[in-house]
C-alpha cells in the first residue's frame, strides 16, 4: 500500500524524504511525490512510475533547502496511476498539501459538497477531497489541528495523513484511522511514516499512533493530541531493536530469498523465551488473561489463511479444540455461529490487512474475544485485539510472504501446546517430545535449505515451460499445497492451483495432459497410498508428476524431490520451504520482479 514519510529537522528534507521513500518501496506503488515549503511558498513535485522519475524531476528544479517536508509513494485505489493523481495533493489556494494512505469511503458525497462551495478538483483521487475539506475548515477554525479534527470527523473509511501548511512553516501534522502511522523521534529532527524502515537510519525511538489522534511535529518537539478534544495525550516511547541491515538484503539477491533462508532463525526467535523444557510447558503470558477457548475461529487472508488451515488439525489433535478456519473477507459477511467462550484468532503478518482487521472489529463489537497473531509491533490488529502474540519474525519486506508463514506455524504450535496443557489434553511426555522436536527443527531445516535451493533451481528450469500446474496434498499438506500454488502464481505469474488430492477425480483431472504438470506433497503418512493412487490417475493421462516425498519412495513419477523424513506435523516446515524455493527459482529464471510482483502490495489495507 501507499508509503508516507514526513520530516522536520535540520537536514535537507529532499534527501531524507527520497531515501525514506526508497525504504518504503516494498509496499508496492505506481507513483511518488513530495511537498516542501520554501521562501513562504508551497512546492509540490510528483511523478508517475518509480522514485527515480521523481528524482529526475527534482533535478530540474531549483535546489530545495527546505528542512521540512512530506513524501509519498502511491498504490492506486481511486484514479489511475498518473502524475495528477500522485500525492501530495494541495488545496485550491496552494496553502497546504497532504499525503494519504487508505480509502475515503464517502469521498463522492464530500466532493459534491466541496464543489458546491466552489472547490475545483484536479485529480480523480479520494485524497484530494481531504485537502479541500481541511482547507475549508482551516478558513473557519484558524488552527490546523482544529481544522483537521473537524474535517476528519466527517470522513468515513481509512486514512493515515500527513500535512504541511503555510500556516505553520517547519511543522508537520498527521493523523490516522485504520491505517498505520508511526512517529520517529530523533535529535533535532522528528519523523512521521507509514513504517519504521523509512527513518530507521536516523532513529530507533518510535511512538505508535492510535486512531483518533492528531500529532504535530517540529524539529525539536512532538505532541500527540486527542483527535476530538485536542487535549494532550501521553504516549509510550518504544525502542526498536531492528538494525538497518536486518531490513535490507544482507547480501542476498532478493529479500524473498533472504527471508526464506532466515526461517531457521525465525523459528528459534519465535520459540525464544516461550518454552520451558524442564517442565515441558510453554511460557505465553500474553494468554494469561484469556480462558481456554471452547472453539477457535481462525480468520486470515492469503498465506496467513493457509497457515491457519495448516494448524487446524494440530489444535484439534493437541488441545481438543474444534476449529473453523475462514478467509477474512468471507468471515465478515457470512452468517456464522460464534458462541460464548469461542475465541477469534486473527492471523496477519502486517497486522493491517483490511479484511482481517474488519473481521476483528466485527467480532469485538459482538462481544467476542479476539487474539491477534501478528508480526508487526504495534500494528492495528495487534493493538485492537484483546491480546496479541507476536511472531517475532523481524521485518518481512518481500511482497511474497514466506518467513511470516513459518513463524505463524511455529506460534500456533505453541498455542496448541499451551491450550493442550491447560485443558489436560496433552500429557507431559507428549509435550516433552513435541518441545524437543521443535527445538531440533531449526538445525534440521538449516541443513536442508541449500540443497533444496539447488533442487528447486533444477526443477524450475525443467518446468519453466508450463503455463498451468496443480499442487496436490492431503490433510495438513492440503494447506501447504494451496500455499505452494499461491507462491508460484504470485511471483512467476504461472497459473497454479492447490487442490485436495482426493478431489482430482471430481473434475480437475479433466485438465491433465502432458502440458499440465502436477506437484504432489507425499509426506509418507497414513494417506500416502491414497495419494499415490491419485498420482497414478494423473500419470495415466500423460500428466507429468513431481513428487515431494521422504527418501525411498518407490513410485513411477517424472521427478522425485526427497524431503527428509521428520515427525509430522513439523515435516510441514520442510515441504513449505521446498515450495517457497521452487517458486523463487522459477520467478528468477523467468526474470520476474521477485520482491515486488506486478499488481501486488505487501499489505492490503483496502477491501
Ligand atoms: C502472500 O504471499 C501474499 N503476500 C498475501 O496473500 C498475504 O499473505 C495476505 O495479503 C495477508 O497478509 P497479512 O498476513 O499481512 O494479513
For the chain, the domains span 2-245, 255-589
pLDDT mean for each 10 residues of the chain (607 residues):
92 96 83 94 95 94 91 81 93 95 87 95 93 96 94 91 94 92 97 93 94 96 96 94 69 90 93 86 92 97 98 97 97 88 97 95 95 89 94 88 98 98 95 95 97 98 96 96 98 97 92 95 89 91 95 91 95 98 98 92 82
Q: Choose one of 1, 27, 299, 303 to mutate for the ligand 1 pocket test, by most ligand atoms within 8 angstroms of C-beta.
A: 303
158 lines ligand 1 (CB under 6 A): no
Residue 558, CA distances (Å) to 50, 459, 517, 543 in order: 43, 11, 10, 9
379 lines ligand 1 (CB under 6 A): no
Which of these CATH numbers, 3.40.50.10490, 3.40.190.10, 3.30.930.10, 3.40.30.10, describes 255-589?
Answer: 3.40.50.10490
Minimum CA distance residue for ligand 1 atom 9: 302
Element (H, E) at 496: strand 495-500
DSSP string, 190-221: EEEESSGGGTTTT--EEEE--TTEEEEE-SS-
Say which CATH class 2-245 falls into: alpha beta
Q: How many residues does the chain have?
A: 607
The reported pLDDT for the residue numbered 153 is 95
The reported pLDDT for the residue numbered 253 is 86
How far, in Å, is the centroid of ligand 1 from the Cα of 59?
37
400 lines ligand 1 (CB under 6 A): yes
Q: Is 345 helix (H, G, I), strand (E, B) or coil?
A: strand
Longest dimension (CA), the chain: 80
Smallest CA-to-CA distance from 30 within 72, 88, 90 is with 72
How far, in Å, is the centroid of ligand 1 from the Cα of 74?
19
How far, in Å, is the centroid of ligand 1 from the Cα of 347?
10
Which phi and psi angles does 368 have, rounded to 5°?
-95, 155
Q: Please identify which residue in the block is written with the cell numbers 494451496.
A: 482
Minimum CA distance residue for ligand 1 atom 10: 302
Give the dihedral sign, CA 416/417/419/425.
positive
482 lines ligand 1 (CB under 6 A): no
Alpha-carbon torsion angle 589, 593, 598, 602, nearest 10: 120
How far apart CA 396 and CA 124 sit, in angstroms, is 32
Radius of gyration of the chain from its Cα atoms, rounded to whole angstroms: 25
Q: Is 374 designated active site?
A: no
The reported pLDDT for the residue numbered 242 is 73
C-alpha cell at 218: 517540529
Which atom in ligand 1 lies closest to the alpha carbon of residue 301? 11
Which atom in ligand 1 lies closest to the alpha carbon of residue 490? 2
Residue 398, CA distances (Å) to 42, 247, 369, 584 in order: 35, 11, 31, 11
How far, in Å, is the centroid of ligand 1 from the Cα of 26?
13
The reported pLDDT for the residue numbered 81 is 80
How far apart CA 522 and CA 549 sit, in angstroms, is 5
Q: Are 443 and 475 in contact (CB under 8 A)?
A: no
401 lines ligand 1 (CB under 6 A): yes
How far, in Å, is the centroid of ligand 1 from the Cα of 265?
21
193 lines ligand 1 (CB under 6 A): no
Q: Choose one of 75, 353, 355, 375 to mutate for the ligand 1 pocket test, by most ligand atoms within 8 angstroms of C-beta.
A: 353
DSSP letter for 552, please. Answer: T
The reported pLDDT for the residue numbered 273 is 81
Same fold, 2-245 and 255-589: no
Which atom in ligand 1 lies closest to the alpha carbon of residue 350? 15
Element (H, E) at 446: helix 428-463
How far, in Å, is the centroid of ligand 1 from the Cα of 105?
23
Which phi and psi angles does 192 have, rounded to 5°?
-135, 135
Smallest CA-to-CA distance from 534 within 583, 499, 575, 495 is with 499
Residue 174's DSSP bridge partners are 162, 215
DSSP letter for 178, please. Answer: B
70: exposed, middle or buried (Cβ count in 10 Å: 0-12, 13-18, 19+): buried
CA atoms within 13 A on the CB side of 258: 20
Minimum CA distance residue for ligand 1 atom 6: 302
Q: Are 602 and 27 in contact (CB under 8 A)?
A: yes
How far, in Å, is the centroid of ligand 1 from the Cα of 461?
27
C-alpha cell at 78: 481511486
The reported pLDDT for the residue numbered 443 is 96
The reported pLDDT for the residue numbered 454 is 98
Q: Please identify which residue in the block is written with the cell numbers 496436490.
A: 472
Give the dihedral sign, CA 262/263/268/272.
positive
How far apart CA 432 and CA 352 sit, in angstroms, is 36
How far apart CA 419 and CA 321 sit, in angstroms, is 9
Q: Please identify which residue in the block is written with the cell numbers 508487526.
A: 376
Alpha-carbon torsion angle 472, 477, 479, 484, nearest 10: -60
356 lines ligand 1 (CB under 6 A): yes
605 lines ligand 1 (CB under 6 A): no
Catalytic residue, from 48, 111, 487, 602: name it.
602
Amino acid at each position: 500500500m501507499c508509503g508516507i514519510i514526513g520530516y522536520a529537522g535540520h537536514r535537507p528534507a529532499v534527501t531524507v524524504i527520497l531515501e525514506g521513500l526508497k525504504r518504503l518501496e516494498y509496499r508496492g506503488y505506481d507513483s511518488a511525490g513530495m511537498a516542501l515549503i520554501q521562501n513562504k511558498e508551497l512546492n509540490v513535485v510528483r511523478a508517475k512510475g518509480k522514485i527515480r522519475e521523481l528524482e529526475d524531476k527534482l533535478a530540474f528544479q531549483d535546489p530545495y533547502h527546505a528542512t521540512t517536508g512530506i513524501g509519498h509513494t502511491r498504490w492506486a485505489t481511486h484514479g489511475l496511476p498518473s502524475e495528477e493523481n500522485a500525492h501530495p495533493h494541495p488545496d485550491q489556494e496552494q496553502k497546504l498539501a497532504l499525503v494519504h494512505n487508505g480509502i475515503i469511503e464517502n469521498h463522492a458525497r464530500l466532493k459534491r459538497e466541496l464543489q458546491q462551495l466552489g472547490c475545483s478538483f484536479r485529480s480523480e483521487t479520494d485524497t484530494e477531497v481531504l485537502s479541500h475539506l481541511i482547507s475549508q475548515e482551516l478558513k473557519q477554525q484558524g488552527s490546523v489541528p482544529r481544522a483537521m479534527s473537524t474535517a476528519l470527523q466527517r470522513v468515513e473509511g481509512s486514512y493515515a495523513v500527513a500535512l504541511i501548511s503555510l500556516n505553520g512553516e517547519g511543522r508537520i501534522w498527521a493523523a490516522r484511522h485504520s491505517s498505520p502511522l508511526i512517529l520517529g523521534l530523533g535529535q533535532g529532527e522528528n519523523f512521521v511514516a507509514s513504517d519504521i524502515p523509512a527513518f530507521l537510519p536516523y532513529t530507533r525511538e518510535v511512538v505508535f499512533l492510535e486512531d483518533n489522534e492528531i500529532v504535530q511535529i517540529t524539529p525539536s518537539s512532538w505532541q500527540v493530541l486527542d483527535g476530538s478534544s485536542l487535549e494532550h495525550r501521553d504516549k509510550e516511547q518504544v525502542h526498536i531493536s531492528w538494525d538497518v541491515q536486518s531490513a535490507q538484503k544482507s547480501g542476498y539477491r532478493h529479500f524473498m530469498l533472504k527471508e526464506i533462508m532466515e526461517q531457521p532463525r525465525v523459528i528459534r526467535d519465535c520459540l525464544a523465551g516461550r518454552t520451558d523444557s524442564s517442565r515441558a510447558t510453554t511460557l505465553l503470558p500474553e494468554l494469561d488473561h484469556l480462558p481456554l477457548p471452547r472453539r477457535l475461529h481462525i480468520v486470515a487472508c492469503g498465506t496467513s489463511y493457509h497457515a491457519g488451515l495448516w494448524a487446524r488439525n494440530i489444535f484439534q489433535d493437541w488441545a481438543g479444540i474444534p476449529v473453523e478456519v475462514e478467509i477474512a473477507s468471507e468471515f465478515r459477511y457470512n452468517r456464522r455461529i460464534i458462541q460464548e467462550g469461542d475465541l477469534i484468532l486473527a492471523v496477519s503478518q502486517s497486522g493491517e490487512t483490511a479484511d482481517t482487521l474488519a473481521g476483528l472489529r466485527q467480532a469485538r463489537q459482538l462481544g467476542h474475544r479476539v487474539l491477534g497473531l501478528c508480526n508487526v509491533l504495534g500494528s492495528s490488529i495487534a493493538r485492537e485485539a484483546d491480546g496479541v502474540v507476536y511472531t517475532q519474525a523481524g521485518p518481512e519486506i518481500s511482497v511474497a510472504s514466506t518467513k511470516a508463514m513459518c513463524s505463524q506455524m511455529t506460534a500456533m504450535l505453541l498455542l496448541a501446546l499451551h491450550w493442550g496443557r491447560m485443558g489436560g489434553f496433552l500429557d507431559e511426555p507428549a509435550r516433552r517430545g513435541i518441545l524437543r522436536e521443535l527445538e531440533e527443527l531449526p538445525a534440521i531445516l538449516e541443513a536442508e535449505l541449500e540443497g533444496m535451493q539447488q533442487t528447486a533451481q533444477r526443477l524450475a528450469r525443467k518446468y519453466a515451460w508450463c503455463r498451468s500446474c496443480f499442487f496436490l496434498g492431503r490433510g495438513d499438506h492440503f494447506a501447504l499445497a494451496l500455499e505452494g500454488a499461491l507462491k508460484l502464481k504470485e511471483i512467476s505469474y504461472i497459473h497454479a492451483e492447490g487442490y485436495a488430492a482426493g478431489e482430482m477425480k471430481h473434475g480437475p483431472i479433466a485438465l491433465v495432459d502432458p502440458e499440465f504438470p502436477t506437484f504432489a506433497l507425499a509426506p509418507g503418512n497414513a494417506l500416502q497410498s491414497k495419494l499415490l493412487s491419485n498420482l497414478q490417475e494423473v500419470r495415466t493421462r500423460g500428466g507429468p508428476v513431481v513428487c515431494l516425498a521422504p527418501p525411498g519412495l518407490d513410485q513411477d513419477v517424472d521427478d522425485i524431490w526427497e524431503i527428509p523424513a521428520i515427525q509430522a506435523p513439523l515435516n510441514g516446515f520442510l515441504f513449505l520451504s521446498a515450495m517457497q524455493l521452487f517458486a523463487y527459482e522459477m520467478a528468477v529464471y523467468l526474470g520476474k520482479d521477485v520482491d515486488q510482483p506486478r499488481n501486488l502490495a505487501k499489505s492490503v489495507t483496502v477491501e
